[in-house]
Structure 1
């Protein structure tokens, strides 16, 4: 036979919401391991948390009252439960401290009611306060991968999140989807954070966490970003490096640039094209620079005749 959650909380089966909360408040404080040093206290504390988790939720309580612990945890056949059958089965989250914090509030709610010596604090309001100050969950951070084109022009991204929300009855919760809209501004850089306040999971006596999206740049086939500048690597052979060339570049906004290079291109040489980089976040009409670097291809083989010609040209 399954455990009797009503007996665990030392209440009758006719107990209402207020009775269930009072019972949990009393027993959780009595058997909390910080105060109760008996070996059985941690197990009893966990039992109390699980019983409260079930009986304080109207849907779980109704399922338990009708089918017992076996039906609650094992799932209800559809022929008994109908369309609303609890087919998934209930699993306790296993963290009695979490239940305690959510009920009383505070990162260390136990400290609000007892001195370090374990004596109960008199709050002056007829006993313990019950549900207390709400505590916000830590922020939830997610990466937002954007292309250089997204960051050059700006765009709007629609992100679907799944979160737990409280139902209208204030006791039960459900999983729902929500679409968040992010307006990406031209010039945003990697590491930019976009915060959606209090869009995290909802729960009793907690403030939902903020959801923070952090911009990450996708690799680009032609350019590498360096602040507000764009780096482009041109592949040229040794002859063009020594005698001059024109580099053709397809820009992010689909223009073709023909950049003449009349200098001798050595391994550390680079050419700067002003105003052809990324748009600036502070002024979208201004842009950084385009920096052209070079990868010089050396010949793998030279005939004796070509070597002789090179000696005459370079060593004269």
Structure 2
């Protein structure tokens, strides 16, 4: 059984398999009920953020599909259900989700304005109570919900063009902004926190002009993550009056290492030996990723392409970080550039006897 973690459906008060329209209606109801401007009870701010995260996942078909199959762990961990299967057809593969959105921005985009309470009610509660416990916050005004983003269908002629014959154009979201995130093999071995500074445009309160804003995005690199793993920060791109900000996506890239190459969860070390050592046997010191040195001996003739495997000295498996891959030692034979005639004759005599 997949461990679900957070139950986004329960947070919004809907059943699994709810339609897109059901998700929107549920978000409208819960977001208005727990908005910190109207709900002053302890924990309302955290609940409001939790509702925004649930809506962010369930309103996105790709995120919702991964969540439905693998739960919060599969959605946020970049893997499938425990025991494997994440890399198969339709699995999440290297996808990794982390909610970094501003719940107030999501609320504003959904309702088309920063403060729908003030827009509709002139800043008054309208007698509904501070926490807005009613199932439909607009019920006390004789309005039926159902418009875009949960707006009522008709408000008369004084609502900025939101009358019964108006059409609402949904703002498009800009394509993802993709950045490479370079990591060393040592960082993949132990895991680390990367802080990435981004600059983006943010709208001013007037909703028309913008400013440049700097933000630090924290990326938690988990042990064993593969090159190509994607970490997505929703809606952290430029914001304009006509767009939904793009998602910012970081893609893991391995830095070139001086000693090792990566092969999945294994690492490869190339040991250069002389022709004499290749024929007569040798002992070499092999470095490890964590700074130790291992002694590896061979009495066999080193054949072309020969490798030695040292178990458990590679990188952690991304889905089982308590287990590690192997360290593969590849032998590269260095031939002499020249031989004296006497050396040639000696080698020829020896090889004739073998």
Larger radius of gyration: 1
Deviation at 1:262, TM superposition (A): 2.1
Return the alpha-carbon distance in structure 1 between the equivalents of residues 181 and 232 of structure 2.
12
Partner of 2:298: 261
Q: Does 1:166 align with 2:212?
A: no
Pairing partner for 1:179 from 195, 216, 219:
216
**Number of the residue aligned with 1:157:** 194
Which runs of structure 2 are paired with 1:144-293 in the superposition (5 Å)? 144-293=181-330
Distance 2:317 2:232 in 1: 21
CA gap of 1:124–1:267, structure 2 versus 1, over 3 A, is: same
SS in 1 for 2:240: coil
Mapping of residues 1-316 of structure 1, within 5 Å: 125=163, 128-129=166-167, 132-316=169-353
Name the SS of the counterpart of 2:193 in structure 1: strand
Q: Report the alpha carbon displacement of residue 216 of structure 1 after superposing the two structures with TM.
A: 0.7
| Counterpart-to-counterpart distance in 1, 2:338 and 2:348 | 15
Cα distance in 2 for residues equivalent to 1:262 and 1:194: 47
Structure 1, 273-282 or 237-246: larger mean CA deviation: 273-282
**TM-score normalized with structure 1 length:** 0.58
Question: Which residue of 2 is the match for residue 66 of structure 1?
Answer: none
Residue ranges of structure 2 left out of the alignment (5+ in a row)? 1-160
Q: Distance in 2 between matches of 1:126 and 1:180?
A: 43
Output the CA distance in 1 between the equivalents of 2:248 and 2:258: 31
1:172-208: CA deviations, max 9, x gaps? 2101111100111110111000000111111214221
When the two chains are superposed, the root-mean-square deviation of aligned CA atoms in Å is 2.0
**Cα drift, residue 297 of structure 1:** 0.9
**Number of equivalences:** 194
The question of whether the paired residues in 2 share the 8 Å contact of 1:276 and 1:287 is answered with yes
Equivalents in 2 of 1:144, 1:234: separation in Å? 30
> Which residue pairs with 1:89 in the alignment?
none
Structure 1's unaligned 5+ residue stretches are 1-122
Residue 133 of structure 1 contacts residue 205 of structure 1 at CA under 8 Å; is this kept in 2?
A: no
Moved over 4 A (4+): 123-128
Q: Deviations over 1:213-270 (max 9, x none)?
A: 0011110000000111111111100000011111212211011111112221122211
- SS in structure 2 of the partner of residue 136 of structure 1: coil
| Structure-2 change in CA distance of 1:235 and 1:185 (3 Å) | same
Counterpart-to-counterpart distance in 1, 2:335 and 2:288: 27
